Amino acid sequence: MLYQRSSALFAEAQKVIPGGVNSPVRAFKAVGGNPIFVKEAKGAYLYDEDGNTLIDYIASWGPLILGHAHEPVINAVIEKAKKGTSFGMPTQIETELAQLAVSMVPHIDKIRFVNSGTEACMSAVRLARGYTGRDKIIKFAGCYHGHSDSFLIQAGSGAVTFGAPNSPGVTQGTAKDTLLARYNDLENVSELFQANAGEIAAIILEPVAGNMGCIVPQPGFVEGLRELCDAHGALLIFDEVMTGFRLGRGGAQEALGIRADIACFGKVIGGGLPVGAFGARAEIMAHLAPEGPIYQAGTLSGNPLAMSAGLAMLTELNDNPGVFESLAQKTEHLHKGIAQVLERKGIVNQINRYGSMISVHFCEDPVIDFESSAKGNNDTFKKYFHGMLAQGVYLPPSAFESYFLNDALSYEDLDKTIAAVEKTFA
């Protein structure tokens, strides 16, 4: 495959956009080489500027769970756009999407729409702090909750790919209120509660993590966090930006059977347009402006195009809940296929999977937290990534990311992908 046009476009982009991209992980820094410029996409396939076709395993990093340019979503946006793109006044469709979202997700009565997952998590933490009157939060190493200051403390995703877990520009004052814990280590969290008695507003976590590869919570871990929060008067915040409307209609709260106090959303809820959201029970949400004193706002929040995409997407998922099982089965098929090939080739690996999230780690020991994820062999990962790309399979360009399967992927696509692994390690 040739990437001449992508390379030329990247060179142009670098002159006017820092690093040539508008979000760091797109830049291929972890795997080397130049990023690929997309021209268009349909279903499970990306069509790049050089005329290559790629089987897509990132689905825009999660949102496009039903595949690219999904017709009901596209049509809804086109129809809406003809009627005006933004008003800064209430519209009925905001209520419609809110009604549908709260009907699908357990334990939330009200939801506020924002424009990104970052905003959702940032606002959820402010709400938790305002509600409890406490300053500190606990976050887990390797979990990514967007790029707001409080979260850039040993964050996953691009923040770790780039080797700058603690970003310059985050003040000491902000950093001191973010307490860091090890994922899947309840004892560690318990110690933090002891050492900071009465000061912790909330724990925020990815209930199934996707920003240090896919990491599944071990039995008892999230249950234990719920108990610790109850015992210490702190709120439990599920960052469901990846897991929401992906692990099932009700996201991780439903899949794990555990109640969160605040849930954050992004990605799927916007159907591929910029939407984030956070929801909680009415009593907590009542503290938010204009009902209560905790301020949060947005010129384009609840934007009609974004709402129409989200509504079309959630309607499809709500009407066809079988899609989650279909996706989980496809992911299992991929998992088994890749595992068999790697075993046959004698390549040390760990594959983590939950629902339609999966990641391949080239390391000996089980990957259960950031430390074990970071032990993956990046040279093997690079070889894997570029070998797959050369055969038309687009994987996340970093070992610290989960794949996101979309339901447009056929079993034929999956088998082609497994065959590509075989050839990569031939």
Catalytic (active site) residue 144: yes
Among 144, 278, 400, 404, binds ligand PMP (CB under 6 A): 144
Among 80, 126, 129, 145, binds ligand PMP (CB under 6 A): 145
Catalytic (active site) residue 354: no
Q: Sort strands 136-140 and 178-181 into parallel, antiparallel or unpaired.
A: parallel
Q: Which range binds ligand PMP by CB under 6 A, 6-14, 132-140, 141-149, 185-193?
A: 141-149
d(CA 180, CA 165): 12
Q: 187 with 123: CB under 8 angstroms?
A: no
Site for ligand PMP in 237-256 (CB under 6 A): 239, 241-242
Q: 53 with 61: CB under 8 angstroms?
A: no
Q: Please report whether residue 206 would count as binding ligand PMP according to CB under 6 A.
A: yes
Give min distance, CB of 274 to ligand PMP, in A.
7
- 386 is written with which tokens? 């570029």
Nearest residue (CB) to ligand PMP, 258 versus 414? 258
Give min distance, CB of 281 to ligand PMP, in A.
21
Q: Which of 275, 279, 280, 282 is nearest to 314 (CA)?
A: 275
Give min distance, CB of 136 to ligand PMP, in A.
20
- DSSP bridge pairs for 204: 237
Q: Please report whether residue 139 would count as binding ligand PMP according to CB under 6 A.
A: no
Helix axes 186-195, 221-232, angle to 10 degrees: 10
d(CA 288, CA 381): 45
- 133 is written with which tokens? 């009157």
Q: Please report whether residue 118 would count as binding ligand PMP according to CB under 6 A.
A: yes
Q: 127 with 262: CB under 8 angstroms?
A: yes
- 11 is written with which tokens? 């060179």
Q: Please report whether residue 61 would count as binding ligand PMP according to CB under 6 A.
A: yes
- The size of the interface with ligand PMP (CB under 6 A), counted in residues, is 17
Task: Tell me the C-alpha to C-alpha distance, in Å, between residue 329 and each of 18, 333, 349, 407.
Answer: 40, 6, 21, 10
Catalytic (active site) residue 267: yes
Nearest residue (CB) to ligand PMP, 212 versus 420? 212
Q: Which of 45, 144, 394, 403 is catalytic?
A: 144
Q: Which of 239, 261, 407, 413 is catalytic?
A: 239
Spatial CB neighbours of 49, under 8 Å, sequence gap ≥ 6: 5, 6, 9, 36, 37, 38, 39
Q: Which range binds ligand PMP by CB under 6 A, 140-148, 180-188, 193-201, 322-330?
A: 140-148
Q: Please report whether residue 146 would count as binding ligand PMP according to CB under 6 A.
A: yes
Q: Please report whether residue 117 would count as binding ligand PMP according to CB under 6 A.
A: yes
Nearest residue (CB) to ligand PMP, 217 versus 420? 217
Would you tell me which residues interact with ligand PMP (CB under 6 A)?
61, 116-118, 121, 144-146, 157, 206, 210-211, 239, 241-242, 266, 276
Active site residues: 144, 239, 267
